[in-house]
């Protein structure tokens, strides 16, 4: 903790500057307490990906250090939406929630409403909120998220909407408070932004260009997490496979994995997302050699048609993808491979769709996230001709989903009867006599247990496969 003197101007250096404003927010919180005889409540609602979830932990950490009390009730004193904009229906969901908040704010005029995240990086969105949702108090984006304490101070001191959006940044500020959802596992940002510009994707426009954290900073953060009880980390980036390319001294993702694998006390390493075009043999060898790296790889396919992949600007072919899978399974025979697939991309023919089904049958994914193509304003694909009729896309989607589910169930059955390590994550939500956890391959297992087992790894016999999860039995102590 830094020694903070609020009679002095705020420091210029980060993160000292934000610690200054956190302390300043604490003064406002204390004034609220003296007036209302309670501490202000804060609700953060997260939309979108694992990176957004990690960002929300940082935002909540800042609020907690400032004195706010976390709540899930959106009738709170401060409500913050951390938004996603991958699909336009994600934007519409936020607008719908804002309509509800307008009613809450009429009942509590002192309520503060804040919006951040990817959706706020779109100029037309900000203008729509400025004019149509004037009750919103604070808007900021993805690049200046670390300045939340400073922006919150401005918001608390102002009667006007505070808007602070950056188009891009080369700054990375990570040494700030965070409040993890789980005590025993944590996401760790290793890089930010994306350089791929897939033709259907808005992410590079709202997250900016790729920038990697220095490996020593990542190692220090993970070491601190382990000393605080974390046994599993998820390394996060829009494309972790391209980690390190913009560092002064280039470090590959494979080299980073090997260094993290040496951290004493850490038990499991996961990562996402991997782009096939950057999946190197060096990385495959690191997955094979590093005993702490979970045998699960999420490798988005998007389409099995080389022609469509080119239109998507994915920069690999069907054959290259299949070759990667062969190399992965040769090096790590028990690796679980999951994927993303888009159905109904502009110009997709029945032959193109059959190519996708062919890849699904040949790879036999352990599971797949399947999506109907959603036209995303601002992307090249949105302006393409031959947009697929919704009824055609839906029929293909249903066929794909049936194929994926059948294969996933068959793959899951292969583990029935085996005894494998399970990291216990929580008490089962339907049956309090059970705990729920995950295998290395990310599959869910439920078995008899209690709260004391949470955060520990147990050998569990998978006695019954129920499609997408297992019922098991712990066979010995952790």
Cα dist. 67→42, 51, 99, 145, 173 in Å?
A: 10, 25, 28, 19, 22
Q: What integer is the mean pLDDT of 356-361?
A: 98
pTM: 0.91
Q: What integer is the mean pLDDT of 287-296?
A: 98
- The percent of residues above 70 in pLDDT, for the chain, comes to 99
Q: What is the pLDDT of residue 73?
A: 96
- The percent of residues above 90 in pLDDT, for the chain, comes to 89
- In angstroms, rounded to a whole number, what is the distance separating the alpha carbons of residues 194 and 442? 25
Handedness of CA 57, 62, 68, 74 (dihedral sign): negative
Q: Pairing between strand 185-189 and 191-192? A: unpaired
Element (H, E) at 453: none
- Convert 444-470 to b/e letters by CB count within 10 Å (16 or more is b): ebbbebeeebbbbbbebbbeebeeebb
- In angstroms, rounded to a whole number, what is the distance separating the alpha carbons of residues 100 and 115? 14
161 and 137 Cβ atoms separated by less than 8 Å:
yes
Q: How sure is the predictor about 477, in pLDDT bands with cuts at 50, 70 and 90?
A: low
Helix (H, G, I), strand (E, B) or coil at 431: coil
Q: How sure is the predictor about 478, in pLDDT bands with cuts at 50, 70 and 90?
A: very low
How much is the mean pLDDT over the chain? 95
Burial class (CB in 10 A: 0-12, 13-18, 19+), 146: buried
User: What's the chain's Rg over C-alpha atoms?
Assistant: 23
Q: Residue for token digits 């959603």?
A: 374
Q: What is the pLDDT of residues 1-53, one digit of tens each?
A: 557 999 999 999 999 999 999 999 999 999 999 999 999 999 999 998 888 99
Q: What integer is the mean pLDDT of 104-111?
A: 95
Element (H, E) at 464: strand 457-465
Which residues lie across from 423 on neighbouring strands?
A: 438, 457
Q: How sure is the predictor about 220, in pLDDT bands with cuts at 50, 70 and 90?
A: very high
């Amino acid at each position: 903790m830094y020694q903070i003197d609020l009679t002095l101007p705020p420091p210029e250096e980060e993160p000292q500057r934000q610690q200054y404003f956190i302390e300043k927010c604490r003064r406002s919180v204390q004034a609220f307490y003296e007036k209302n005889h309670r501490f202000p409540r804060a609700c953060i609602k997260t939309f979108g990906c694992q990176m957004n979830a990690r960002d929300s932990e940082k935002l909540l950490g800042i609020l907690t250090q400032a004195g706010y009390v976390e709540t899930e009730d959106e009738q709170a004193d401060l409500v913050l939406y951390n938004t996603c904009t991958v699909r336009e229906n994600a934007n519409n969901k936020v607008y719908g929630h804002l309509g509800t908040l307008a009613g809450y704010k009429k009942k509590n005029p002192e309520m503060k409403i804040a919006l951040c995240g990817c959706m706020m990086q779109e100029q037309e969105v900000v203008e729509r909120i400025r004019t149509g949702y004037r009750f919103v108090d604070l808007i900021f984006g993805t690049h200046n998220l670390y300045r939340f304490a400073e922006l919150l101070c401005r918001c608390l001191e102002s009667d006007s909407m505070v808007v602070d959006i950056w188009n891009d940044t080369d700054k990375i500020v990570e040494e700030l408070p965070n409040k993890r959802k789980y005590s025993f596992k944590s996401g760790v940002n290793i890089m930010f932004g994306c350089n791929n510009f897939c033709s259907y994707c808005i992410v590079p426009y709202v997250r900016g260009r790729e920038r990697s954290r220095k490996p020593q900073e990542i190692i220090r953060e993970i070491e601190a997490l382990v000393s605080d009880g974390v046994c599993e980390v998820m390394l996060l980036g829009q494309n972790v496979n391209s980690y390190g390319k913009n560092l002064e001294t280039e470090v590959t993702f494979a080299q980073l994995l090997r260094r993290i694998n040496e951290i004493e006390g850490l038990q499991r390493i996961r990562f996402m997302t991997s782009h096939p075009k950057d999946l190197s043999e060096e990385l495959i060898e690191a997955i094979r050699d590093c005993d702490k790296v979970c045998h699960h790889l999420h490798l988005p396919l998007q389409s099995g048609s080389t022609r469509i992949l080119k239109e998507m600007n994915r920069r690999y072919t069907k054959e290259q993808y299949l070759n990667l899978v062969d190399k992965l399974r040769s090096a790590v025979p028990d690796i679980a491979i999951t994927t993303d697939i888009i159905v109904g991309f502009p110009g997709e023919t029945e032959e193109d769709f059959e190519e996708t089904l062919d890849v699904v049958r040949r790879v036999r994914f352990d599971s797949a996230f399947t999506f109907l193509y959603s036209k995303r304003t601002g992307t090249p694909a949105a302006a393409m001709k031959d947009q697929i009729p919704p009824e055609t896309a839906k029929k293909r989607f249903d066929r794909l989903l049936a194929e994926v589910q059948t294969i996933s169930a068959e793959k899951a059955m292969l583990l029935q009867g085996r005894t494998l390590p399970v990291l216990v994550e929580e008490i089962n939500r339907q049956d309090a006599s059970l705990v729920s956890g995950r295998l290395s391959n990310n599959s869910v297992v439920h078995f008899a247990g209690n709260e004391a087992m949470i955060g520990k790894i147990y050998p569990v016999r998978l006695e019954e496969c129920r499609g997408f999860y297992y019922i098991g039995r712990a066979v010995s102590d952790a």
